[in-house]
Structure 1
Amino acid sequence: MAQVWALSLAVASLAIGMLGVLGVWLCYLFEAVARGGAPPAAPPPQAEEEVEADDVKNGLSEAELTRLGGVCVPESADGEEDEEETLCPICLDAMEPGRPVRVLPGCNRAFHRDCVDRWLAISPRCPVCNVWAVPPSPATAPPAPKIAWGS
């Protein structure tokens, strides 16, 4: 008799719990319908020209890449072999003699020129450490805060 009583109590508790969850869900549903129901519409997609203009605006232009400098062409070492091969952090390919390399002035990291130029056309920051590839000019940099010592 005690087992039947315990089983009945368990079934009743489970049913009451499920009714509670159903009640909360129905309240949420009615409130959503009362607020207007449909979620807000997505904004209209941008025209392709606007998207391209935004992308170009974020990265460096061809003229800025030319002014950036830092391009060199490593030559082969005469009989000297490095024990550790230097890799381009973007493509993970070796820095071969004769292939142009660009060193970013902000962080002094070396990349294949074609790899980093593609990156810099999208973002003006180093792909490894996020330092600005082109340091801001003093005219565009924000003024340094004035600190009063001993006041």
Structure 2
Amino acid sequence: MAQLWAVFLAVGSLAIGLLGVLGVWLCYLFQAVALGPPPAPPPETPDTSDDGDGDDKNGLSEAELRRLGGVVQAEPAVDDEEEALCPICLDAMEPGRAVRVLPGCNRAFHQDCVDRWLAISPRCPVCNIWATPQSPQASLTVAKTAPGC
């Protein structure tokens, strides 16, 4: 009779263990169905894509900065006019200092300030519009028609 109780105890323990494993698996399955499929990964952007060439530079090159154009000399402010500030360094636009006006948004910056920014990111630091280089002919036209040239 003792052997019969030992068999019942072993089979009962095994059944309880299997029911526990089955319960955990059912909870996992229910949670997976309730949550749905995992979200899709975000699309690749120029900042997150890796083309494997090892060049992580996203900004404009020296040649692209030259083609960007829009470089003029700052003019003295009229007495009743508010003095313009560079949005990057917050210094005044002094007369005679090189100023770059970005195409697209027409915002003016000190040339040295914005060129350092554009070497890192090809977008305007204020409004995030692309600062795309102009064609060589358009750059020449801007230089001829810019005030103070």
SS of alignment partner, residue 121 of structure 1: helix
Q: Distance in 1 between matches of 2:121 and 2:97?
A: 23
TM-score of the two chains, using structure 2 as the length reference: 0.51
Q: Is the 8 A contact 1:106 1:135 kept in 2?
A: no
Aligned partner of 1:134 in structure 2 is 132
SS of alignment partner, residue 66 of structure 1: helix
Larger Rg: 2
**Percentage of pairs with the same residue:** 80
Q: Distance in 2 between matches of 1:113 and 1:88?
A: 10
Aligned partner of 1:125 in structure 2 is 123
Give per-residue Cα distances to partners, 1:53-92, cap 9 Å, x unaligned: 30x2x00000000000000012336xx4244110000000
Which segments of 5 or more consecutive residues in structure 1 lack a partner in the other structure? 1-49, 138-151
Q: 1:135 to 1:73 in 2, by over 3 A?
A: closer
How many matched pairs?
83
Runs of 4+ in 1 over 4 A off after TM superposition: none
Q: Distance in 1 between matches of 2:72 and 2:134?
A: 23
Q: Distance in 2 between matches of 1:62 and 1:95?
A: 23
SS of alignment partner, residue 101 of structure 1: strand
SS of alignment partner, residue 120 of structure 2: coil
Q: Is the 8 A contact 2:69 2:100 kept in 1?
A: yes
Higher relative contact order (CA 8 A, sep 6+): 2
TM-score of the two chains, using structure 1 as the length reference: 0.50
Which segments of 5 or more consecutive residues in structure 2 lack a partner in the other structure? 1-53, 136-149
Q: Is the 8 A contact 1:59 1:124 kept in 2?
A: yes
Partner of residue 104 from structure 2, selected from 106, 114, 119: 106
Aligned partner of 1:148 in structure 2 is none
Q: Distance in 2 between matches of 1:136 and 1:113?
A: 16
